[in-house]
Amino acid sequence: GESVGLHLPTLSVQEGDNSIINCAYSNSASDYFIWYKQESGKGPQFIIDIRSNMDKRQGQRVTVLLNKTVKHLSLQIAATQPGDSAVYFCAENLPRWRFGAGTRLTVKP
């Protein structure tokens, strides 16, 4: 069946570099999306969200881009830090919340 997925299961970057994590969502009717960060053994933490009437939204060091034409989301993290090491996954809201498996981001010092 359809699922929210990710292009890359792992991503390794140097400290200070920018990171880009991608996500393909499945339902063209979804109108709200969230990126979560999950550290090992902990619950997911909200990072940033975006509604379908927007293409881009910026937070502190993070930016989410939404391309509805190809049902694609990306999360950009600027100046990646060791504390950013975690699994990141996207979520779409319709018909019920669906979650990607996640990308593991590792930041090398």
Partner 1 sequence: DGGITQSPKYLFRKEGQNVTLSCEQNLNHDAMYWYRQDPGQGLRLIYYSQIVNDFQKGDIAEGYSVSREKKESFPLTVTSAQKNPTAFYLCASRGQGSTNEKLFFGSGTQLSVL
CB 106 within 8 Å of CB 40: no
- Residue 14 C-beta-side C-alpha neighbours within 13 Å: 2
For residues 31-50, which are near partner 1 according to CB under 8 A?
Answer: 32, 34, 36, 41-46, 49
Minimum Å distance from CB 13 to partner 1? 21
| Main-chain phi, psi angles of 82, to 5 degrees | -55, -35
Structure tokens at 80: 């990646």
Examine residue 97 and tell whether it contacts partner 1 (CB under 8 A): yes
Examine residue 25 and tell whether it contacts partner 1 (CB under 8 A): no
Residues that bind partner 1 (CB under 8 A): 3-4, 9, 32, 34, 36, 41-46, 49, 89, 91, 93, 96-102
